[in-house]
Amino acid sequence: MLSTPAVSVSLHARLREATSHAHQQLESLLGLLDSPMSYTRFVAVLMRFHGFHRVWEPALERTLGDAAFTGPRRRLTLIEHDLRALDIDDLDIEALPIVPEAAQLCRTLDGALGSLYVMEGSTLGGRVITRRLLEDADWCPEEGLLYFHPYGDLTGERWRQTLALLDLVPVERHEAVVEGALETFALLLQWLEPAVVASHPRDDDTPSEWGVAL
Ligand code: HEM
């Protein structure tokens, strides 16, 4: 009897399918396409991403050990640029809280690759977010903001490079990479939520203006 050949699903397809629910949750939590986009909400979200990248980027670089790949993908300074362009001063930026658990996402190579998929993928939706901000948010500087659209015309090329790296992962390690991506979305959801909630204060709440302890 003929056996059915195993269908091999690419790691990218598995990642997309496994994380689509979490992506939707994050997208709707952040509401970055809400119209009009609130300045307070946007700044609070950027501040939380700052606390994530500050820990995650060095951890990723240590684990991947490929400076030529990770160097052009650093985005911490882009967040700082955006916060300054939105009138946040350096002392407040320096004092922003970090999320130490972000280092754990990169404790193994497979975890780091899953995490890389999530953070690089965010540059795809970032194109839409940036266009919307320019059209719709009167507080957005004319020259635009950088964090959500860090690579400009190189976005497609950088994404293809990331997918090419994921293509090298042998099939027996796919599950661990998918786990890493899911853990990354879970941590982001948990870390970003207070910023979003606090930028919509209820009458009986007295949160800090930015949803973070400055
Ligand atoms: C309101 C916020 C967001 C919107 C509107 C959005 C929208 C999108 C869109 C339209 C795409 C597909 C782009 C394309 O195929 O050319 C995409 C892809 C993706 N986004 Fe988002 N996104 C948002 C936030 C995020 C965040 C915060 C992350 C993670 C930090 C993220 C992770 C991803 C990933 C991993 C992909 C790639 C999916 C794939 O494998 O094709 N997104 N997003």
For ligand 1, say whether the CB of 118 is within 6 Å of any of its atoms.
yes
Best residue among 19, 122, 166 to mutate for probing ligand 1's pocket (most ligand atoms within 8 Å of CB) is 122
Token pair of 51, please? 């606390």
Rounded-to-integer distance, Cα 54 and Cα 76, Å: 6
Mean pLDDT of the chain: 91
Encode pLDDT of 108-165 as tens digits. 999 999 999 999 999 999 889 988 999 999 999 998 899 999 999 999 999 999 999 9
| Cis ω for the linkage preceding 170 (within 30 of 0) | no
Range 34-198: architecture per CATH: Up-down Bundle (1.20)
- pLDDT band with cut points at 50, 70 and 90 for residue 63: very high
For ligand 1, say whether the CB of 128 is within 6 Å of any of its atoms.
yes
Measuring CA to CA, how many Å separate 79 from each of 48, 98, 183? 10, 14, 23
For residue 27, the CA-to-ligand 1 centroid distance in Å is: 8
- Residue 196's pLDDT is 86
Lowest-pLDDT range of 62-66, 141-145, 149-153, 204-208:
204-208
Token pair of 70, please? 């990770």
Judge whether 148 and 129 are in contact, CB under 8 Å: yes
Rounded-to-integer distance, Cα 106 and Cα 111, Å: 5
For ligand 1, say whether the CB of 125 is within 6 Å of any of its atoms.
yes
Using CA positions, which residue lies closest to atom 21 of ligand 1? 125
Judge whether 102 and 183 are in contact, CB under 8 Å: no
Q: Sign of the C-alpha dihedral, residues 125, 27, 79, 62? A: negative
Domain ranges within the chain, ordered by starting residue: 34-198
For residue 24, the CA-to-ligand 1 centroid distance in Å is: 9
Judge whether 147 and 49 are in contact, CB under 8 Å: yes
State the closest ligand 1 atom to the C-alpha of 120, by its place in the atom list counted from 1. 35
For residue 122, the CA-to-ligand 1 centroid distance in Å is: 5
For residue 32, the CA-to-ligand 1 centroid distance in Å is: 11
- Residue 209's pLDDT is 52
pLDDT surpassing 50 at residue 4: no
Nearest to 48 by CA among 70, 33, 32: 32
